[in-house]
Amino acid sequence: MSGEPELIELRELAPAGRAGQGRTRLERANALRIARGTACNPTRQLVPGRGHRFQPAGPATHTWCDLCGDFIWGVVRKGLQCAHCKFTCHYRCRALVCLDCCGPRDLGWEPAVERDTNVDEPVEWETPDLSQAEIEQKIKEYNAQINSNLFMSLNKDGSYTGFIKVQLKLVRPVSVPSSKKPPSLQDARRGPGRGTSVRRRTSFYLPKDAVKHLHVLSRTRAREVIEALLRKFLVVDDPRKFALFERAERHGEVYLRKLLDDEQPLRLRLLAGPSDKALSFVLKENDSGEVNWDAFSMPELHNFLRILQREEEEHLRQILQKYSYCRQKIQEALHACPLG
């Protein structure tokens, strides 16, 4: 990839027939590009990945395999995770991992204390919806504070457009098609794990300073931002593997909160102002342990039930085998003991 500045422009993501009247065309501006050239080239890897120290994943691990892209589901066997680089995969995929371990990922967070505020703690900039006059005044104040051309603008239909910056702090690798041909629309509609077999995927670790500016609408949702970033760089990993976080520095502490899918990042940007300390956006792995089962299709849910049944049957068989073995040894010891 070249070093020329570039951004992602997110216009109305709804079907064209639903687009509002009087929509102004969004203009491009300078932004940063993710330098994928700085990452190692995984296409050169022809041997099993070296340096990994795989261990059984923790009990709260519900995520997607970094090799095949399928969801890792189970109660006992939840997959494997490298203790160093956090590469996560199925037990069956371990022998196919070709990406070398990159070692512990130092993502350079400040030494301040980080707290997850995604519970009940109110966030200062989350206020009730603003009136049209208040939005216009906020935009004027916002534009007066910035020293670049990344302005916000009010549209005729009452919406507004502007820029958000997303920093990609991903510990685990991302997967892209091994060929230059991007995934087709039919592949995208098939859902996660379909149309992207192991042989057609290649993985690499993003550099820790990867950042991207996006030109978005006020109604653009957090989930749409994630999907647009992945499409831009042909990432074939399931979007549900990732989450968008807001980050703020207050009173010497760093606060992180995972955005809900329907939250509007540009609205948060407007309310917080242009300061990155007041608010910035970070893309991270969605490793909270919570699974939104409603987001899966019916075939996927039925498949999870079949996997669960097979795992339960295998676990019961192992338990019965252990008890049977123990019972046999006790009986042999009783028969060997002399009477009296």
pLDDT digits (tens, 9 = 90+) for 182-205: 545 455 445 544 444 445 678 888
- Least confident piece of the model among 11-15, 35-39, 66-70, 102-106: 35-39
CATH number at residue 81: 3.30.60.20
CATH number at residue 235: 3.10.20.90
274 and 219 both lie in a single domain: yes
Is residue 184, in this structure, part of any structural domain at all? no
247 and 143 both lie in a single domain: yes
**Do 281 and 245 form a contact (C-beta atoms < 8 A)?**
yes
240 and 146 both lie in a single domain: yes
The pLDDT value given to residue 164: 93
Is residue 13, in this structure, part of any structural domain at all? no
277 and 134 both lie in a single domain: yes
Is residue 15, in this structure, part of any structural domain at all? no
210 and 255 both lie in a single domain: yes
pLDDT(334) > 60: yes
Q: Which helix (H) or strand (E) holds 153?
A: strand 153-154
101 and 165 both lie in a single domain: no
Tokens of 316: 């019961």
Is residue 263, in this structure, part of any structural domain at all? yes
- Least confident piece of the model among 47-51, 100-104, 209-213: 47-51
161 and 290 both lie in a single domain: yes
94 and 205 both lie in a single domain: no
Would you place residue 21 in the very low, low, confident or very high pLDDT band (cuts 50, 70, 90)?
A: very low
78 and 96 both lie in a single domain: yes
The number of folded domains in the chain is 3
pLDDT(15) > 50: no
The pLDDT value given to residue 288: 59
User: Which residues make beta-bridge pairs with 248?
Assistant: 255
pLDDT(117) > 60: no
Is residue 111, in this structure, part of any structural domain at all? no
138 and 243 both lie in a single domain: yes
Q: For residue 246, what are the contacts with CB-CB under 8 A and spacing of at least 6?
A: 123, 256, 257, 259, 265, 268, 279, 280, 281, 282
The pLDDT value given to residue 105: 65
Is residue 151, in this structure, part of any structural domain at all? yes
The pLDDT value given to residue 73: 73
190 vs 50, residue with greater confidence: 50
Q: How far apart are CA 331 and CA 324, in angstroms?
A: 11
247 and 279 both lie in a single domain: yes
170 and 223 both lie in a single domain: yes
What percent of the chain lies above the pLDDT cut of 70?
67
Is residue 192, in this structure, part of any structural domain at all? no
pLDDT(211) > 70: yes
Is residue 3, in this structure, part of any structural domain at all? no
Most confident of 3-12, 97-106, 123-132: 97-106
The boundaries of the domain holding residue 305 are 300-336
Q: For residue 189, what are the contacts with CB-CB under 8 A and spacing of at least 6?
A: none
The pLDDT value given to residue 2: 41
